[in-house]
Amino acid sequence: MTLETVLLVAAALVSVGLYGALSQQVVVMVMMGLELMIGGVLLALGGFWWFLAPDPSGQVLLLVVLAAMTVEMAIGFAMATLLHRRAEVDMTDMTAELHE
């Protein structure tokens, strides 16, 4: 596996995530698109660290960012679930009307 292959897979993940985030209206699907985009960026960063400077400190930072991303997505899914249970809202257009 080469750096070019890793970057190609990372670009594919970011592209699919961007399409998913922009084309979907359900909050959970938008969050899944964002998750794919962040995963692609993390894969590219991990590939750079692995192939250019295989220092373990960079990989530890990558794991910390991955853990923070997991917590952030768990909080987002909890908020989407709460929003759906209280207001029966799961579309991004409908959530904009809640603050009124």
Per-residue DSSP letter, 97: T
In the predicted structure, residue 100 carries a pLDDT above the cut 60: no
pLDDT at 97: 62
Whether 80 has a pLDDT exceeding 60, the answer reads: yes
pLDDT value, residue 31: 87
Between CA 74 and CA 50 the distance in angstroms is 28
Segment 34-44, tens digit of pLDDT: 989 999 998 99
The whole model's pTM is what? 0.75
